[in-house]
Structure 1
Amino acid sequence: MRNLIAGLALVSLVAGPLAALAQDTKFAQLGQELPTPNTYRTASGAPGHQYWQQRADYTIKVELDDQNQSITGSESINYTNNSPDVLSYVWVQLDQNIFEPNSMSNLTSTAKLQEKVQLRAVEYMAREKFDGGFKISKVTDRSGKPLKYTINNTMMRVDLPSPLKPNQSFSFNIDWKHNINNQKTLGGRSGYEYFPEDGNYLYEMAQWFPRMAVYDDVNGWQHKQFLGSGEFALPFGDYKVSITVPSDHVVAGTGELQNANQVLSSTQQKRWAQAAKSDKPVVVVTQEEATQAEKNKAKNKKTWVYSAKNVRDFAWASSRKFIWDAMNVNVGGKNVLAMSYYPKEANPLWGQYSTEAVAHTLETYSKRTIDYPYPVAISVHGPVGGMEYPMISFNGYRPEPDGTYSDRIKYGLISVIIHEVGHNFFPMIINSDERQWTWMDEGLNTFMQYLSEQEWERGYPSRRGEPQDIVEYMKSAKDTQVPIMTNSESVLQFGNNAYGKPATALNVLRETVMGRELFDYAFKEYARRWAFKHPMPADFFRTMEDASGVDLDWFWRGWFYTTDHTDIAMSDVKWYTVDSQDPAFVNAQQREQQNKAPQTLSQQRNLKEIKKTRVELRPELKDFYNTYDPLATTASDEQAYRQFLSQLSPEQKEILNSGLNFYEVSFQNKGGLVMPLIVRMSYEDGSEEVVNIPAEIWRYNNNDITKVFVTEKPVVSFELDPYRETADTDLSDNYFPRRAAPSRFEIFQQKNNGQNPMQRERATSSRSTGNSNGQ
């Protein structure tokens, strides 16, 4: 007995050091992968005491041509150099140039032709017919003197007349115009939609003016070309924007409307004032007013003036088709106007859900990051399926022409609004470099979207966030994946890589690795530290560790720097009990096992076919061994047992009589991604116990480990990851004893006529009413 106890202890003590010989790098600290801390960005993940960032303030005038779908504008940029560097030029982004026929995006795009191709796809491939891109007419200094500039695809370098020293500012002007793309045929993050039924247009305007690029302590100038995937890196500043449109248009824009008394009727102004005090949506511009404007089509113009403070961009939308509703949301004691703009084609869905979804987003995101700091938050419906800008977002999904909609459309609308409005926080406020790292805005925001969706409605059908929903991607072919830490323009499977995988990783981190309390505190600290600043991946990684006290290098390495996946197998279970050496107990136990042993097929048949054995026929053939019972307890057995007990301490006697069960469970890491082990043990009496083992159990051997579980009750089955927390890609080896995993075969039948459930219900009700009336 003494030897057995010592042996069990030895297993736990020596398994690590001996296996360390096979250690690889999964638990190595992130060293070369992260930049060296400095006075700008500290080892804790916080901004350093010498952190700096540039500033760009804009005054813009723009006019919309509703006849030719184009805009003409002029802007004045005041650029402040807060860096310690002397600048001889500045870089400006010309993202509209992606629509130029010979743009790098067009030339490097790939496609395949099939025998049957949708008309929209043909229009997109033939987009060189669209005269897109900025037409820059002049670039001058404040006094109007021309400045030398060079356009390189989607970037423009403006050479300064004299070096711009630290803490100095330089003002310059740009005049420009560009045609507006038909978003339905040419795609893009902005554009117009034409409504042939009433002959009107709806415009969603983004990347519509030349914008300053970011200059920072990590990259210098961020002037990677815009190819379509990597979005935008922009400095903060103040904006004053004057937008001239047909007088019957309604304009939504980043910031606060400055001249409501000039562009709204007195009745609309009263409704707007009422909305600012209401906790439910109030209609400012009604559907009847919008419908009347669609018919009249005014020829004169009005100018809407918007002002926005400390934002990184400006977007706007304009149409005579807009219905407009708004409500007040109290965020941290501050009043915020949540608003929606949408055409009648979006009702009743938008009138019921859009502004409520905006308000819900502000409340739930503020709770987990920082209080929403801006005065308004807007959701606009138009051709763009989903895109975000400070205080304003463009969102898709509309009901059928008869006003009905499927659950997919309903939840798709709520989700896209939460996602795009949520982008106000990531990256509009916590201002990461989207041109380089898509996951820092899309992944973090998708994770926050998942949490907000779950607070909207119990059982909300979230598309991303749950570990089990990323399994198919995680186990897909390695040559179709890249690590999360991949530049935006080089990402494969964009939605899975930049949205789904990082969102799932954060959910796993919150629920399984860190726990909600530690995670939520650290995540909120990251948002607080980097609000209105430019964080990098290392700042996020370091802050999450610094604020929680949890070493997460193994997690970042596995989930973000590799394409490993979770596939942990429970390869073997061995059951041990303590040998008490009590002969009566041991012999009785062995006898019970013998009695329970199944008979072989031959033994079963022999019982029937052999009527009498020879010994049964001739009893004189029997001897001592025909009557000897090897499992009977003898006096010598009892004496040996008493001698054994006399040598034990009281503690050893207690263990001897405890009846403990020892289970040696072997685990194999088949997918490469080290993860915590969540093991559920089901006991013989029907009860269960779940044991959570940190991922550090793999630190000495990343591939094969064993763990001894000691239980008072016998275990009838073990299950690994019972709550599907780790995105394990193969559940068939998560059970012991093995459990057959069900598969399904599908029975096909003719599909219905394509109606959504609301339409079918209406049709059924109509038929029932008709039959009743007929009777």
Structure 2
Amino acid sequence: MRHHFSRAILRSSCAAAALCTTQVQAADFDPKAAFAVQPLPDGVNVYRSSSGAPGPGYWQNRVDYAITARIDATARTLTATETVDYTNNSPDALPSLWMQLDQNIYRPNSRAAVTGGGRRGRGGAEHSDGYAIASVEVQRGKVWVKIPFVVSDTRMNLRLDQPLKGGGAKLKFRITYHYAIPGVWGGRNSWLDTPNGTIFDIAQWFPRMAVYDDLRGWDTLPYLGSEFYCEYGDVDYAVTVPADMIVAGGGVLTNAAEVLTPLQRARLAKAAGSDATVMIRTPEEVTRDSARPASKAEKTWRYHFANTRDVAFSASRAFVWDAARMNLPGGKTALAESVYPIESAGDAGWGRSTEYLKDSVERFSQRWFAYPYPTAWSIAGGSTGMEYPGMAFDGIQDKGKELFWITAHEIGHTWYPMIVGSDERRDAWMDEGFNTFIDTFESDEFKGGVFGPKRDSEYAPGGGNPVDEILPLLADRDAPPIMSYPDVMGEKYRHSVSYFKTALGLRLLRDVVLGPDRFDPAFRKYTTDWAFKHPSPSDFFREMSSESGEDLSWFWRGWFFNNWQLDLAVTNIAYTDGDPAKGADITLESRDKLVMPAVLEVKYADGHATRIKLPVETWMRIRPVIAAPAGRISSVMLDPDHLLPDRDRSNNGVVP
């Protein structure tokens, strides 16, 4: 919330008076360090401006995919041919290309298996052979020419027969491959048997181009378990499955007449105009042949997904299916859809999934950036708690507030990092933390906050004051700063640092430091400026400072680049000339490295009180002295609303 306070007079020297006996020397606080210039990792140039927005020379490569795939439900394998149209908009000629082979993380000798970085699919019997690449061919005129390639763990280097020029030159190549679909141990790519059929959650299922950008050329960090960094373009894909399966895919289904019954198509048309959830395939119909397409051994589902950095889908004969209209800014609409097995149905469980999905997308669109895609999916299967553009993979057993929370969180990733395409593999906080931040508003607002608040604390989830819940992390000398590689953090700190600390930091920045009237427009501009582009942390820091009109170096340093603690204290009250009628000097102190703006509340013996807003510059002095209005003081309290993560609140107040 935003507060309005009386004006304070900041004095740099103490009035002649004895200090309180509780005073402690502020040995850990140095204003020169707290307010020093904060160097940012990436410099300003023609590509990235000093305001944090893309520069006049910003460029970005593009990749369009056309994929034909087939799932063998018995062998549980996926076979595909992928044609790639790659556009090199960089100024550089590229003698070779790099691709990401995420399925190779499941190999028993992968780097993730050795280092323990991957969270699933490592060791024992829970592994696969990853991608089997049959061939790589480049189109030269009307002829396809095979080229050599080198696989290195989860990456593949394509050795071009001639360099790909810069400045918009294009190259078409194709890859033929197959792989064994992991079981539920695959996590993000899995199959799971249910009473009415197997659910195949298919993600990271095709070799994807690595990003070539202005920051480091090819970004080829291996896949150890942290997530992704991908280029944008269009994806046309065709998936052949057994005829009785439903395929829920990102993008637009382009051959509905071939794969859906007339009744299903009519229900989808009704859902497109309905704010209430409409059943497309009921639980009763799941086990009835009459609700399935005409009998053929297989059917091919065709989808087109425009301007996306990735795509995923799920396929099963077990799916119940429902949908509803989403109302977006500017009078636009899209379709919220959920698929789930019969055992998850009902209002206590997945029967409300589409309601949660619809509400989340509508609110995120109104507050931050309009949802750009025609559909949004929530899918119950074996790949739980994972996200792809316009798609959330969640748990079959999820229900109530847990289903609401995970639905909002996973579809929220469509904004960060699917629309704002940050590098998750290097800067997980720019997607997990930003997304957790926007989650907090959705939990507070849905149905009047029935499932709120949610602040994603590791220490008291959904419980107490988050500024107290962060204190153990800030006190942990082994805790890494937010600006750390996620794979280096390890699982112990992954959630508490990337999710919780980042989200709480943004709430502090919005609610305490800047106020919503400055934070919200700046955050929206950052989102709009970098939509479908690749921002770095430096871009974010610069744009938030520039657009909010505030030098936030002290905040970035203390909260993001370091894991500093905050300890503000009141050390003395001294009446001017010993006379309450002449006012009082209140001496403050910062006893640790982190600084924050604060509120000082002064209560008087006659029952009235005044609040003094202290800007962060207050702490540019070792022991600032604040002038309080005349009157006999009964108590003084720093941070009376308990908004700050102060490690020792026992010294926040003084009673004369």
- Common fold: TM-score over 0.5: yes
* Deviations 1:412-456 (CA, angstroms, capped at 9, x unpaired): 111111111111111111110111110011111110111121111
Higher relative helix content = 1
- CA shift, 1:668, in A, is 3.1
1:210 maps to 207
Q: Which amino acid aligns with 1:259?
A: N
Alignment CA distance shift 1:9-1:435 (3 Å): closer
Q: Distance in 2 between matches of 1:256 and 1:473?
A: 47
1:268 pairs with 2:260: no
Q: Give the alignment of 1:396-407 within 5 angstroms.
A: 396=395, 398=397
The match for 1:426 among 416, 436, 440 is 416
Q: Distance in 1 between matches of 2:108 and 2:609?
A: 65
Alignment CA distance shift 1:454-1:24 (3 Å): same
Q: Give the alignment of 1:527-676 within 5 angstroms.
A: 527-570=527-570, 572-578=571-577, 659-670=581-592, 672-676=593-597
- CA shift, 1:713, in A, is 3.2
- CA shift, 1:675, in A, is 1.2
Q: Which amino acid aligns with 1:338?
A: A
The match for 1:11 among 7, 10, 13 is 13
Q: Distance in 2 between matches of 1:464 and 1:322?
A: 31
Q: Which amino acid aligns with 1:451?
A: F
The match for 2:626 among 695, 708, 721 is 708
Q: Distance in 2 between matches of 1:372 and 1:13?
A: 58
1:153 maps to 153
Partner of 1:61, secondary structure, is strand
2:111 maps to 104
- CA shift, 1:299, in A, is 7.5
Q: Distance in 1 between matches of 2:208 and 2:124?
A: 24
Moved over 4 A (4+): 123-126, 293-299, 577-580
Q: Which amino acid aligns with 1:437?
A: D
Partner of 1:11, secondary structure, is coil
Equivalent pair of 1:518/1:548 in contact (CA under 8 Å):
yes
Equivalent pair of 2:68/2:80 in contact (CA under 8 Å):
yes
Alignment CA distance shift 1:22-1:256 (3 Å): closer
Equivalent pair of 2:130/2:179 in contact (CA under 8 Å):
yes
Alignment CA distance shift 1:190-1:476 (3 Å): farther
1:447 pairs with 2:441: no
1:734 maps to 652
Equivalent pair of 1:148/1:158 in contact (CA under 8 Å):
yes
Q: Distance in 1 between matches of 2:468 and 2:306?
A: 40
Alignment CA distance shift 1:220-1:13 (3 Å): farther
Alignment CA distance shift 1:127-1:317 (3 Å): farther
Alignment CA distance shift 1:736-1:326 (3 Å): same
Partner of 2:175, secondary structure, is strand
Q: Distance in 1 between matches of 2:438 and 2:255?
A: 35
Q: Distance in 1 between matches of 2:117 and 2:410?
A: 28
1:50 maps to 57
Q: Which amino acid aligns with 2:454?
A: S
- CA shift, 1:54, in A, is 0.4
Equivalent pair of 1:381/1:394 in contact (CA under 8 Å):
yes
Q: Distance in 2 between matches of 1:214 and 1:10?
A: 52
Q: Give the alignment of 1:279-428 within 5 angstroms.
A: 279-292=275-288, 300-332=297-329, 333-348=331-346, 349-396=348-395, 398=397, 409-428=399-418
- CA shift, 1:712, in A, is 3.1
Residue range with higher mean Cα deviation, 141-150 or 277-286: 141-150
Residue range with higher mean Cα deviation, 378-387 or 530-539: 378-387
- CA shift, 1:396, in A, is 2.1
Could you state the TM-score of these two structures normalised by the residue count of structure 2?
A: 0.89
- CA shift, 1:13, in A, is 11
2:485 maps to 487
* Deviations 1:665-710 (CA, angstroms, capped at 9, x unpaired): 332323x211112222233233333322111111243xxx232232
1:719 pairs with 2:640: no
Q: Distance in 1 between matches of 2:397 and 2:289?
A: 21
Equivalent pair of 1:430/1:535 in contact (CA under 8 Å):
yes
Matched residues, number: 619
Equivalent pair of 1:233/1:435 in contact (CA under 8 Å):
yes
Query: Which structure exhibits the higher relative contact order, with contacts defined as CA atoms closer than 8 Å and separated by 6 or more residues?
Result: 2
- CA shift, 1:296, in A, is 9.9
Equivalent pair of 2:112/2:224 in contact (CA under 8 Å):
yes
Partner of 2:144, secondary structure, is coil
* Deviations 1:446-487 (CA, angstroms, capped at 9, x unpaired): 1011112111133613143864254244344212x1110111
Equivalent pair of 1:464/1:470 in contact (CA under 8 Å):
no
Equivalent pair of 2:121/2:187 in contact (CA under 8 Å):
no
The match for 1:696 among 614, 617, 621 is 617
Unaligned 5+ residue runs, structure 1?
A: 1-7, 112-120, 400-408, 581-657, 739-775
Residue range with higher mean Cα deviation, 681-690 or 143-152: 681-690
Equivalent pair of 2:200/2:315 in contact (CA under 8 Å):
yes
- CA shift, 1:148, in A, is 0.7
1:175 maps to 176
- CA shift, 1:194, in A, is 1.7
Partner of 1:732, secondary structure, is helix
* Deviations 1:228-286 (CA, angstroms, capped at 9, x unpaired): 12x11100011110011111111111100001111111111100000011111111111
Q: Distance in 1 between matches of 2:556 and 2:11?
A: 33
1:471 maps to 470
Q: Distance in 2 between matches of 1:294 and 1:435?
A: 46
Q: Which has the larger radius of gyration?
A: 1
Q: Give the alignment of 1:10-29 within 5 angstroms.
A: 11=13, 23-29=31-37
Q: Which amino acid aligns with 1:179?
A: A
Name the % identity: 38
Q: Which amino acid aligns with 1:499?
A: Y
Q: Give the alignment of 1:737-756 within 5 angstroms.
A: 737=655
Q: Distance in 2 between matches of 1:312 and 1:700?
A: 49
Partner of 2:238, secondary structure, is strand
Equivalent pair of 1:263/1:303 in contact (CA under 8 Å):
yes
RMSD (Å), alpha carbons: 2.6
Alignment CA distance shift 1:13-1:421 (3 Å): farther
Equivalent pair of 2:106/2:186 in contact (CA under 8 Å):
no
Unaligned 5+ residue runs, structure 2?
A: 1-9, 17-26, 458-464
2:250 maps to 254
Q: Distance in 1 between matches of 2:572 and 2:183?
A: 63
Q: Distance in 2 between matches of 1:450 and 1:228?
A: 26
1:681 pairs with 2:602: yes
Equivalent pair of 1:389/1:424 in contact (CA under 8 Å):
yes
Equivalent pair of 1:92/1:155 in contact (CA under 8 Å):
yes
Partner of 1:559, secondary structure, is helix
1:523 maps to 523
1:496 maps to 496
- CA shift, 1:11, in A, is 2.6
Q: Distance in 1 between matches of 2:76 and 2:46?
A: 49
Q: Distance in 1 between matches of 2:584 and 2:15?
A: 16
Equivalent pair of 1:411/1:461 in contact (CA under 8 Å):
no
* Deviations 1:116-156 (CA, angstroms, capped at 9, x unpaired): xxxxx9x9664455333111111111333211100000000
1:222 pairs with 2:223: no
Partner of 2:545, secondary structure, is helix
Q: Which amino acid aligns with 1:257?
A: L
Alignment CA distance shift 1:546-1:706 (3 Å): closer
Alignment CA distance shift 1:469-1:262 (3 Å): farther
Could you state the TM-score of these two structures normalised by the residue count of structure 1?
A: 0.76
Q: Distance in 2 between matches of 1:129 and 1:339?
A: 32
1:461 maps to 453
1:753 maps to none
